[in-house]
Amino acid sequence: MRQDAFEARYRDQWAEFDDWLKREGGGQAVDGKTYFAASDFAYRYRQLARHLALARDRQYGAELVAQLESRVLAGHQALYGASHAASTGGVIQFIRATFPQLVRKHWRSVSLASFCLFGPMLAITVAIQYFPDFAYVLMSAEELAAVQQMYDPANRILGAGRDAGSDVAMWGFYIMNNVRIDFQCFAGGILFGVGSIFFMIFNGGHIGAISGYLTQLGYIETFWGFVAGHSSLELVGAALSGAAGLQIGYALIAPGARSRLEALKFAAIDAVQILYGAAAMTFMAAFIEAFWSASRVPPVEVKYAFGIIGWILVLSYFALVGRTRVAASPASPSVPASPSVPTILTTGAAESGVSRAA
């Protein structure tokens, strides 16, 4: 068949295809125009693919082939394109099962990241109790003076040089700063994990220097009362984002049976979900830090209790939630990592977590 005859024969079909895509892409349906049913789309698309194959095989003009090609590409994207809708069901499923499951599945990287964060933090806090001058090795005198001023028991409100009514400002600051640190901890993983480890140790050491210095000064109630409330969410969130980074770093170091690139992409699937959860935790921590931790109205005992309850809740969430058989239920579309889940579930303590609603 000559090119012109070919074009004349299928021109209408192609126009219908274009119209359908246009409407599907959010365009208005034109009055008086008939659109084929969505169920016909796959068939129409395969037909179009055949036309492209024919046009190429018969060496039709470059313009026609290019035209068909861009049409097929648009069809390909419509047919195989991801749905953008983040369903509430997917989010609930994530909180109730996927997130804690992923954290347990990757317990190795979570442990290493926790060690890198909490290890220096505790070690330096303790060290400064015996060698107070050590704080000056890690931080400058100006920084320490500023920190000291923030948590001075004479202050009516605690935290970074704030005055009354600036809670919202601090909230914005905590989100911007702390979630960014999460993202950096994750992203640093692509440098073979070195970036993540660096950020973990650096932040752990920084926090350790501050807490050690203030503890040694005797600012127990102001400092520990301040951090108690949000510490669980914020520190665990930071550790998890570092763990996510370590996962992609590990994929580059030891890719196993895959190529490094494939291993990286595969590891990123789980890692980014852990990062979602970590960032959400840091987000929540920012709320608590801005609107609760800084207040001196609640007695310090209440703040301690609040903090301890927070830690218990966070740890038991990761230890217990989601230990039910998820695989038996219809998988949520937004949880593509679930194939890897059942191995944990079968070994976990059965039914100890939140049970699934029917």
Partner 1 sequence: MLDTPRVVTTPEGIELTLNVAGPVARARAWVIDALIRVVAYIALATAAAAFGGFGTGITLLFLFSAEWAYPVLFEVFWNGATPGKRACHLRVLHDDGTPVSWRASVIRNTIRAVDFLPFMYGFGLISCLLNRDFKRLGDLAAGTVVVYVPPSLALSPALRAATSAVARHPFVETLAVPHAIRGANHATKHPVPLRLDEQRAVINFAERRVRWSDQRANELAQHASELIEGAQGGAAVDRLVRLADEFTGRRANAAKEMGRR
| Interaction site with partner 1 (CB under 8 A) | 1-5, 45-46, 49, 52-53, 58-63, 66-67, 69-70, 72-73, 76-77, 80-82, 84, 86, 163, 165-173, 175-176, 179-180, 183-184, 186-188, 190-191, 195, 248, 261, 264-265, 268-269, 272-273, 275-276, 336
Residue 69, C-beta contacts closer than 8 angstroms, at least 6 positions apart: 52
Q: Which amino acid is at 19?
A: D
**Residue number, 299 or 333, with CB nearest to partner 1:** 333
Taking the complex as a whole, how short is the minimal distance between the CB of residue 167 and partner 1, in angstroms?
7
Taking the complex as a whole, how short is the minimal distance between the CB of residue 355 and partner 1, in angstroms?
28
Dist CA 322 CA 335 (whole Å): 13
**Residue number, 135 or 290, with CB nearest to partner 1:** 290
Buried b (16+ CB within 10 A) or exposed e, 139-155: beeebbeebeebbeeee
Contact assessment for residue 114 and residue 314, using Cβ atoms and an 8 Å cutoff: no
**Residue number, 5 or 254, with CB nearest to partner 1:** 5
Dist CA 54 CA 341 (whole Å): 45
Taking the complex as a whole, how short is the minimal distance between the CB of residue 36 and partner 1, in angstroms?
18
Which residue bears the tokens 């440098």?
191
**Residue number, 67 or 352, with CB nearest to partner 1:** 67
Taking the complex as a whole, how short is the minimal distance between the CB of residue 238 and partner 1, in angstroms?
15
Contact assessment for residue 139 and residue 209, using Cβ atoms and an 8 Å cutoff: yes
Taking the complex as a whole, how short is the minimal distance between the CB of residue 235 and partner 1, in angstroms?
20
Angle 194-217/220-253 helices, nearest 10 degrees? 170
Contact assessment for residue 304 and residue 260, using Cβ atoms and an 8 Å cutoff: no
**Residue number, 106 or 323, with CB nearest to partner 1:** 106
